[in-house]
Amino acid sequence: MQGLIDHARTFADREAIVSNGQIFTYGELLERSGSVAAALLVGREDLGEARVAFIVPPSFEYVYCQWGIWQAGGVAVPLCVDHPLPSLRYVLDDTAAEVLIVHEAYEALLDETVKELGIRLLPLGEIPDKAPNAPLPNLAPAGRAQLQLRNAQILYTSGTTSLPKGVVTTHANIENQIKTLVDAWEWSADDRILNILPLHHVHGIINVLSCALWSGARCEFLPRFDAKTVWEKMASGEITRFMAVPTIYYKLISYWEQQPKSEQARLSAGARQLNLMISGSAALPVPTLERWRAITGHTLLERYGMTEIGMGLSNSYRGERRPGHVGLPLPGVEMRLADAENNTIREANVPGEIQIKGDSVFKEYWQKPEATAKAFTEDGWFLTGDVAELNDGLYRILGRDSVDIIKSGGYKISALEIEAVLLRHELVDECAVVGLPDEEWGEIIAAAIVSSGTPDTGELTAWLRERIPAYRLPRRWLQLAEIPSNTLGKVTKNELKKLF
C-alpha cells in the first residue's frame, strides 16, 4: 500500500518489527520488500493487479512479502496458516492467483495444489536478501486519485452463511482505514504493540500492524498465543498498547487468577502503564470487561468493524467507554440504522440494521457482481447485516440478523443480551445462545455453556427468570467442553446449532 511505503521512508532508521528474537528497522523492511517485488516482477514493469497469494507465519517475513506484493503492483492475498488444505485451495482457485509465496513449513502441503492450478510457486527461502537495482512501478501515474480504483488486497469473509467471499479493497480504501484509526486512537511513533492476531483478517492487518507502521511505531510478533509471555510483555514495559479478541482476555484473566498475590500485583502494575487496550472481532462479555478493569485499571475500548468496512464505530480514546457499547461513528464514516425497508431510524432504543458509507468501504466482492449489488442499497449504503440501537447517546450492538437475532413468538430477541446475563452466573465460564427452528414458535432459544462445575439447568433457568423476561429464557441447554469458534475466537453459531 503506497501510503505505508511512503511513510516508511521517513522512518528508515527506526525499529519497525520485532520477530523471532530479532529487531528490524523500516529501512530493512523497505529493502527486503523491494527484493520480493523484484522476484515477482522478473522483467515485467508492473504486475497489473495480478493476485499474489502468500502463506507465511506472523513475522518480519510476512510483512516484507505483503509490502513486496504491493510495490510490484500486485494484489495481496494472505492465506490463513491454520486453515486446512480445502480452504486454502478454495482461495487460490477463487482469486485465480498467479503466484504463491510459500514459507517452507507449507511447501509440502501446497505443492500438488499449486501444480494442479498452474500457479507459479515462489519459495520464501529463494528470494534474495538484497534487491537488484530495478525500477518499481508507479502505482498512480495519473495521481493519487488513481489509488481509489487500484486493487490492493483481497481478504475472505468467514463464510458462516455461504461460501466465503473475497472482499476487494483498494490502496485508497486501506489508507483511509488506517488514517482514521491512527487519528482516533492517537497512535504515536513511540508506541510499541504486540501482535498476536491472525494476519488474514482486518483486525491484525489493519488495526495493529498497519496502524503501527503508518505511525513509525514498533510491532512485535508473537507467533502463538501464550498467556505468560503476554503478561511478561505488559509487566516489563516492552509494549504500550494491546489489542485482542474477548477469548484472549478471558485466558489472560484465568492465568492471572492462578498466580500468587505478589505476582498478581506485579503483573497488574505493569499492565496499568499501557496507554490503550482494545477488544474486538466478537462481542465482549461485560463480566470480562469488569474483571479486566479490576485487574489492570483499563476499561477496554470496544469498537465495531468488519472485513468490508474496516472499523466503523468506536468508543472514545479519551472519553466515555460504556460497557456493552461500541461508541459512535469514526471520523469519515457515515452510519445510519435502517428498518426492513431501508428507511432511516431516528428514534433512540429502536433496533435497526447498521448501514455504512465512506471512503473506507470496500470496492466489491471478487468476481461476484450480484452479491456486490445485493450488499448495497440503491443510494450506496453498505448493508452490514448487524443490528444495533442508539442507547443514551452511544450505539449498542444487538447481534447479526442472521445468527444473533432470534425470532420467537413474534419477538425479536438478541442472543448477545441473553449471553451477557448468563455469563454473570458463577458456574458459567463461557456460553453461546442460538435459535433453533420450531413449528409453533418459529424459533426457540437454546443455550450452550462451558463450566468447570456441573450446573443444573433447572436452577440456571430459575436464576435467569429473576433477571430477564420469560420469553427470553432458553428452552434447551447443552454443556460442552468447548464452544466451536473460528481462528479469531468468534463463535461459529451455525456449527453450534448442529450440536443440538
User: Which of the four pLDDT bands, split at 50, 70 and 90, describes residue 90?
Assistant: very high
Pair 199, 156: CB distance under 8 Å: no
Pair 47, 9: CB distance under 8 Å: no
| Cβ within 8 Å of residue 358, ≥6 positions away | 176, 309, 332, 333, 334
User: Which of the four pLDDT bands, split at 50, 70 and 90, describes residue 162?
Assistant: low
CA dist 35 → 7, 26, 30, 55, 153 (Å):
19, 14, 9, 17, 20
| Cβ within 8 Å of residue 373, ≥6 positions away | none
Residue-averaged pLDDT of the chain:
91
Alpha carbons 68 and 66: distance in angstroms, whole number = 5
- Residues 209-248: tens digit of each pLDDT: 999 999 999 999 987 899 999 999 999 999 999 999 888 9
Alpha carbons 163 and 161: distance in angstroms, whole number = 7
Instruction: Report pLDDT for 371.
Output: 93
- Residues 453-491: tens digit of each pLDDT: 888 999 999 999 888 888 889 999 999 999 998 877 788
| Cβ within 8 Å of residue 119, ≥6 positions away | 53, 92, 97, 98, 99, 100
- Which of 362, 245, 346 has the alpha carbon at shortest distance from 312? 362
| Cβ within 8 Å of residue 67, ≥6 positions away | 4, 5, 29, 30, 33, 36
Average pLDDT over residues 46-66: 96
User: Which of the four pLDDT bands, split at 50, 70 and 90, describes residue 402?
Assistant: confident
pTM score, two decimals? 0.86
- Residues 173-215: tens digit of each pLDDT: 999 999 999 999 999 999 999 999 989 999 999 999 999 999 9
Alpha carbons 278 and 314: distance in angstroms, whole number = 10
% the chain with pLDDT above 90: 72
* Long-range residue pairs from 397-402, CB within 8 A, at least 24 positions apart, any chain: 397/283, 397/304, 397/326, 398/351, 399/283, 401/353, 402/160, 402/161
Strand partners, 450: 430
Cα end-to-end span (Å), the chain: 45
Instruction: Report pLDDT for 145.
Output: 63
Alpha carbons 91 and 144: distance in angstroms, whole number = 30
- Cell numbers placing 109: 502441503
Instruction: Report pLDDT for 160.
Output: 53
b/e map 205-234, b = 16+ CB within 10 Å: bbbbbbbbbbbbbbbbbbeeeeeeebbebb
The H or E element spanning position 254 is helix 246-257
| Cβ within 8 Å of residue 442, ≥6 positions away | 407, 408, 409
- Residues 14-25: tens digit of each pLDDT: 999 999 989 999
Instruction: Report pLDDT for 441.
Output: 81
Instruction: Report pLDDT for 404.
Output: 84
Burial of residue 410, with CB atoms counted within 10 A of its CB: 0-12 exposed, 13-18 middle, 19 or more buried: exposed
pLDDT > 60? residue 161: no
Average pLDDT over residues 381-392: 93
Instruction: Report pLDDT for 159.
Output: 60
pLDDT > 80? residue 134: no
424-197-496-418 Cα dihedral, nearest 10 degrees = 30
CA dist 171 → 32, 41, 150, 157, 400 (Å):
21, 19, 6, 19, 29
Q: 480504483: which residue's cell?
A: 149
- Residues 243-287: tens digit of each pLDDT: 998 889 989 999 999 999 999 999 999 999 999 999 988 778 888
Q: Is 68 left (phi over 0), alpha (psi -120 to 50) or beta?
A: alpha
Alpha carbons 162 and 160: distance in angstroms, whole number = 6
Go through the domains of the chain in sequence order and give each one's CATH number. Answer: 405-498 (3.30.300.30)
Instruction: Report pLDDT for 490.
Output: 80
Alpha carbons 217 and 211: distance in angstroms, whole number = 8
